[in-house]
Amino acid sequence: KAKQICPNAAFIKDPFELVQHQDVDVVVELFGGTGIAKDAVLKAIENGKHIVTANKKLLAEYGNEIFPLAEEKNVMVQFEAAVAGGIPIIKALREGLAANQIRSIAGIINGTSNFILTEMREKGSAFTDVLKEAQALGYAEADPTFDIEGHDAGHKITIMSALAFGTPMNFSACYLEGISKLDSRDIKYAEELGYRIKLLGITRKTDKGIELRVHPTLIPE
């Protein structure tokens, strides 16, 4: 079927053959994760190919290998869609705000957790019930750990922190606390005090170093 749509396109089964192919200038990585994606991206860069990826996990955990190699090989790694692609925040940090001294970044950067917390507040439902609803609607994966335990937000804030403060990617230093331990009473008590609970990604430059954290936070209504 793909051949019918693109009769002049070449289809190659082996990605490692593709990333070394002499007719390829740009490799768009869509594997996800850090297994074959990491190996293919590094091999592509070694062979002088530019990279386009939305793989936040790959960049947050292995960016310190990928970006220096890309600089050495004089190729670009473009990753706008890796963090809040619809805004877009990466371009703003790299270009529009490049002359600014950024002191902190904080934001709601995981849609699944935000949906769950909103539903818990509006309906008074238990976390497990809302999680099942989110999975049924396609907002949450069958294994939702990546979202609800803060890993997705952690990868995103790690990338933004590195761009904002000119530091290496340091995901291993990011404090992660998800929303799975919250229940409807927490939401109710927060609301009585005039707050909403949101999962935030936060990075801040201080005299002692860079703060890098993801956790539920009380936000004024």
pLDDT digits (tens, 9 = 90+) for 62-91: 999 999 999 999 999 999 999 988 888 998
Do 207 and 127 fall within a single domain? yes
Q: Which of 194, 193, 187 is nearest to 124 (CA)?
A: 187
Residue 29 makes CB contacts below 8 A (sequence gap 6+) with 37, 40, 41, 44, 51, 52, 53, 55, 58
Question: What per-residue confidence (pLDDT) applies to 199?
Answer: 98
Share of the chain above pLDDT 70, in %: 99
- What one-letter code names the amino acid at 94? R
Q: Provide the domain limits for residue 176.
A: 104-220
Q: The CATH number of the domain where 203 resides is what?
A: 3.30.360.10
Please tell me what DSSP assigns to residue 13. S
Residue 218 CB-half CA count within 13 A: 10
Q: What is the mean pLDDT of residues 139-157?
A: 94
pTM: 0.90
Residue 192 has pLDDT above 90, yes or no: yes
Q: What is the mean pLDDT of residues 37-43?
A: 96
Do 77 and 134 fall within a single domain? no
Do 7 and 115 fall within a single domain? no
Total domain count for the chain? 2
Residue 2 has pLDDT above 70, yes or no: no
Taking the alpha carbons at both ends of the chain, their separation in whole angstroms is 52
Q: Which of 169, 143, 155, 211 is nearest to 62 (CA)?
A: 169
Q: What is the mean pLDDT of residues 106-134?
A: 94
SS (H, E, C) 153-202: HHHHHHHHHHHHHCCCCCHHHCEECCCCCCCHHHHHHHHHCCEEEEEEEE
Q: What is the mean pLDDT of residues 179-196?
A: 95
Do 189 and 159 fall within a single domain? yes
Do 41 and 141 fall within a single domain? no
Structure tokens at 179: 């929303």
Residue 13 lies in a domain: yes
Residue 51 has pLDDT above 70, yes or no: yes
Catalytically active residues are: 156
Residue 88 lies in a domain: no
Do 27 and 66 fall within a single domain? yes
Structure tokens at 9: 């396109």
Residue 91 lies in a domain: no
172/194 Cα distance (integer angstroms): 34
Residue 1 has pLDDT above 80, yes or no: no
Structure tokens at 43: 């091999």
Q: What is the DSSP string of 54-68?
A: --HHHHHHHHHHHHH
Residue 17, judged by CB atoms within 10 A of its CB (0-12, 13-18, 19+), counts as exposed
